[in-house]
Amino acid sequence: MQKRYDLVVIGSGPSGRRGAVQAAKLGKSVLVVEKGRRVGGVSVHTGTIPSKTIRETVLNLSGWRERGFYGRSYRVKQDISVGDLMGRLHKTLEHEVEVLEHQFHRNGVQWAHGTARFIDPHAIEIVGEDGECRRAEADFVLLACGTRPFRPDYVPFDGRDVLDGDEILDITQLPRSLTVIGAGVIGVEYATIFSALDVAVTLVEPRQSFLDFIDKELMEEFVHELRDRNVGLRLGAAVKEISVANGRTQCRLDNGRCVVSDMLLFAAGRVGAVDRLNLEAAGLSADHRGRLTVDSRTMQTGQPHIYATGDVIGFPSLASTSMEQGRLAALHAFGHEPPPPPEFFPYGIYSVPEISVVGMSEEEVQRRGIAYETGIARFRETSRGHIMGLESGMMKMLFSIKTRRLLGVHIIGEGATELIHIGQAVLNLKGTIDYFIQNTFNYPTLAEAYKIASLDAWNKLQATVAGGGIPAPVAGAG
């Protein structure tokens, strides 16, 4: 059966579903093609939602958040099993899928289960699990096919002892020890989640540092916490060989060291899931990691009627930014020019502890030659931090000496990914230190850290400028 659509979307992850719904709201006919049995894409089934759900379950059942009061031996549940983790995960995923299916239904978005491949730039063949073929033609195409784990030949993946980032969700029992190769966002998140379960974790990274886009001072705080929890860090040494013997994994490094553990997670990157798309028929090609190049303003590929969004176009590979990319692509395709997006958006890393940043890091401010000052607040300095029993966590703020404007906010600790949005709003509205000094925050809250950090910066600003030349705050300024 052949039918023509205004838009065919390949992939139903964050960018695909947002683009599909936006086009439908413009009155366009939309077909979403999803190779998985249910809609949601990697984000719902193997990526964002599963890892964050498992993280929340681990923190709750392990009593992690209460150990500041009751000691490191405190547990809500003494023996946590994979079943405990997966029970909550499956309930969450079921709810996410139901919400998405309802959203498609009420907006008139059609979807087909199958693998999509280009026949020509405007024609797509959809092959179902039973081999049945269906053809669809489209005025516009949105490629939102996402990524899959990078699986190099030298890694002996077996789905039991040596796993990739998707297979880690299918384990049948918790290991006593775990080696994680790759200190990117995925590797760091899983390493710290398992560490919170008191699994002995070793994190292997060939570079001398990791998460280099995060402010260096925040990373120093993070590394200190990891070492305090006995997370092993093997930095600056590449993997030479991985093997499995007697039910134990062995990871040999090029510096001669060997890391032995019950289980190994290989999380060193992902590749675009474009291998079955037959891109050549559409006049497109991907790079060696399966990524597509697009115009960052419009999300158009080299074929103006074909758009690409989400992880398949590379950095920043965030669910939040992917959603906006999908929306922008749909608007542009059908002649609607949205206003330019805000300059700054937040990054969230759901490690234990979580990290979230927005704006410039101290290193970036220095590279730009901006005269600046910083303010620091420790969560333990807030009454809410005392109530919660927090022993760690900090907020760092950067301000321009010349204009007093906020330049960046960097948070590590409980609630970081929620707290960051206050800084995001002030930053995009070009607010100054005066806002934080004069504003009233709910008491007791961790958000008070904004006032503590800004007052810390204010004291330094007064001392920095000769004769206390920083003007006093004016009521209503900022």
Give residue-wise pLDDT tens across range 155-187: 999 999 999 999 999 999 999 999 999 999 999
Judge whether residue 426 has pLDDT over 50.
yes
Judge whether residue 339 has pLDDT over 70.
yes
Question: What pLDDT does residue 8 have?
Answer: 97
Q: Looking at 207-221, 329-343, 352-366, which range is the least confident one? A: 329-343
Predicted confidence band at 2 (pLDDT cuts at 50, 70, 90)?
low
Judge whether residue 128 has pLDDT over 90.
no
Judge whether residue 466 has pLDDT over 80.
no
Question: What pLDDT does residue 465 have?
Answer: 63
Question: What pLDDT does residue 419 have?
Answer: 98
How much is the average pLDDT of 269-286? 95
Q: Looking at 38-52, 189-203, 281-295, 365-379, which range is the least confident one? A: 38-52
Token pair listed for 159: 């789905």
Cβ neighbourhood burial of 25 (10 Å; 0-12, 13-18, 19+): middle
Question: What pLDDT does residue 1 have?
Answer: 44
For the chain, give the percent of residues with pLDDT over 90: 79
Question: What pLDDT does residue 144 have?
Answer: 96
Reference 141, options 119, 169, 108, 162; nearest CA is 119
Question: What pLDDT does residue 74 have?
Answer: 81
Judge whether residue 231 has pLDDT over 60.
yes
Q: pLDDT digits over 48-68, tens only? A: 899 999 999 999 998 888 877
Q: Looking at 6-15, 30-39, 231-240, 416-425, which range is the least confident one? A: 30-39
* Helix, strand, coil abundance in the chain, percent, nearest 5: 35, 25, 40
Q: Mean pLDDT for the chain?
A: 92
Q: Which residues of 274-295 are buried (b: 16+ CB within 10 A; e: fewer)?
A: beebbbeebebebeeebbbebe
* Range picked from 32-36, 47-51, 221-225, 315-319 for highest mean pLDDT: 221-225
Reference 167, options 185, 145, 190; nearest CA is 190
Helix (H, G, I), strand (E, B), or coil: what is residue 477?
A: coil
Question: What pLDDT does residue 476 have?
Answer: 38
Predicted confidence band at 342 (pLDDT cuts at 50, 70, 90)?
confident
CA 424 to chain centroid, in Å, comes to: 17
Question: What pLDDT does residue 279 have?
Answer: 96
Q: Extract long-range pairs of 46-53: CB within 8 Å, 24+ residues apart.
A: 46/165, 46/166, 46/169, 47/146, 48/14, 48/319, 49/92, 49/93, 49/96, 50/89, 50/93, 50/169, 51/186, 51/189, 51/190, 51/193, 51/350, 52/350, 53/88, 53/89, 53/92, 53/93
Judge whether residue 478 has pLDDT over 50.
no
Element (H, E) at 107: helix 82-107
How much is the average pLDDT of 7-18? 95
If you ran DSSP here, which 8-state letter would residue 132 be given?
Answer: -
Cβ atoms 320, 342 nearer than 8 A = no
Question: What pLDDT does residue 477 have?
Answer: 38
Predicted confidence band at 217 (pLDDT cuts at 50, 70, 90)?
very high
Cβ atoms 43, 319 nearer than 8 A = yes
Q: pLDDT digits over 82-111, tens only? A: 999 998 898 999 999 999 999 999 999 999
Helix (H, G, I), strand (E, B), or coil: what is residue 278?
A: coil
Question: What pLDDT does residue 30 have?
Answer: 97
Residue 373: phi, psi to the nearest 5? -140, 155
Question: What pLDDT does residue 470 have?
Answer: 53
Judge whether residue 125 has pLDDT over 90.
yes
Q: Which residues of 207-238 are buried (b: 16+ CB within 10 A; e: fewer)?
A: eeebbeebbebbbebbbebbeeeebbbbeebe
Judge whether residue 37 has pLDDT over 80.
no
List Cα–Cα distances, 457 to 63, 398, 470, in angstroms: 35, 8, 12
Predicted confidence band at 438 (pLDDT cuts at 50, 70, 90)?
very high
